[in-house]
Amino acid sequence: MITLPFLGRLSLSEWPVVVISLLFAYIESVISIITELIPAPVLGFITSLLKYLHTNAFRLVFPKDETEPTDAELNQRQLVKASNIHDICKVYGFEVEDHIVETKDKYLLTIHRIPPKKKDSPVVYLHHGLLMCSDIWFLMNRRDQNLPFILHDLGYDVWLGNNRGNKYSAKHLVLKPSETKFWDFSIDEFAFYDIPDSINYALKTSGAETLTYIGFSQGSAQAFASLSINAELNNKINLFLALAPAITPVGLHHRFVDALIKSSPNIMYLIFGKKTLLPTASFWASIIYPPLFVKVIDVSIKMLFNWKSKNIDQSQRISSFKHLYSPTSVKCIVHWFQIIRNGSFQLFDENVSVTNSLTKVFQPATFPTKTNIKVPVKLIYGDIDSLVNIDKYSSLLPAELTEAVAIPAHEHLDIIWGRDVDKLIFPHVLKFLAEHRPDSKSST
């Protein structure tokens, strides 16, 4: 009889989680197939009808206020309706450019640029986190709480990156997203290709010699990994600002789920397959009543990470959570679970069943961050963020180049969407930028 070794290691307490997860994945797959079979005009009509019902339901629950809505309230309504980064930025009177980056392994990434006020402006590049895209940087209900706009006002040339496979980068010169091979990537590919190729493009297009890198969560991890394996990249980044940096999270809050992924990271393949994670999530985000969708996200992140989002107002969660999800590969999630399991910021382990045997035949290679990173690093994190293991950073980063700032009583998402980002986060960001602002002379 054929058995699956990693299933044999599950305890009785873990099996209910497996069964529920498999059932959820099955239902999600069926829904995905059904939505693909529905003709586009019919699906569009259903979506429009549901959005209309949402609007009217909202008016019934919250009777119309006779007072004039605030700018933040007006912005929130438009942000919820926005379907892409161009719609989002138009809310604040900005336009962004689309630029296509061809990676060395032939993925086509769409990265965005806010055209600078003048030529030879210093360049800032921002990169999103896991299951996100460049939208995340523009979702605050107030203009002065969106970091890219502040940087643009200060005279920076602002660029925003996107990972392969996400909302804006689902293209390859040979492969199609319907093929499993398209989704065969992890943090390794982000580090070897997406980050350096995007940075090289931004520098070449702007004519600058160096840029400042700002990463959120996995966007920081990708840069740490890329800098550690690419000596040349260290000469192209003058400052690295890591917001809520995730390198070696200790685990998940839900003890059954945590035990499950630590015992067998590859179980994600069994549950979700080997392509993209939750392909219909964006569809559901567009049709579920916004306050209800926020409740679903609140419950999910509370269960997984023990985040309570007390620093993010309900109206802000409606704006931000609507655009929270963007596709990535299941393999990327498996990579994170390997890192969590081993407590090591390592490259993807292609043969986890062998390397985790008692004999330890192979040892997964770790990213040499402490010895190879030569760039000033500034960490800004919430002191109650369950994903940031700050005590571990001393062994992972060069002490002489690293400075950390803890934001009291803040969690992970609070660092970009908290109600006081302009008072608690931006001053640190702008201080570090001012200290390291490079000569803006063109290299051309």
**Average pLDDT for residues 21-38, to the nearest whole number?**
55
If you classify domain 5-33+74-436 with CATH, what class do you get? alpha beta
Task: Pick the catalytic residue from 385, 410, 414, 440.
Answer: 385
For position 230, what pLDDT does the model report?
A: 97
For position 360, what pLDDT does the model report?
A: 60
pLDDT tens for 70-85 read: 999 999 999 998 999 9
For residue 2, pLDDT over 50 is answered with no
Q: Is 385 a catalytic residue?
A: yes
For residue 433, pLDDT over 80 is answered with yes
Residues whose CB falls within 8 Å of the CB of residue 102, separated by 6 or more in sequence, listed in order: 108, 109, 173, 197
Q: How confident is the model at residue 281 (pLDDT cuts 50, 70, 90)?
A: confident
For residue 23, pLDDT over 80 is answered with no
For residue 3, pLDDT over 50 is answered with no
Task: Pick the catalytic residue from 217, 264, 326, 386.
Answer: 217
Task: Pick the catalytic residue from 349, 412, 414, 440.
Answer: 412
- Measured distance CA(221)–CA(191) in Å, rounded: 9
Worst-scoring range by mean pLDDT, 60-64, 273-277, 430-434?
60-64
- Measured distance CA(243)–CA(405) in Å, rounded: 10
Mean pLDDT of the chain, nearest integer: 86
For position 40, what pLDDT does the model report?
A: 64
Q: Is 298 a catalytic residue?
A: no
Model confidence, pTM: 0.86
pLDDT tens for 209-223 read: 999 999 999 999 999
Q: Is 217 a catalytic residue?
A: yes
State which amino acid sits at residue 398: P
For position 168, what pLDDT does the model report?
A: 98
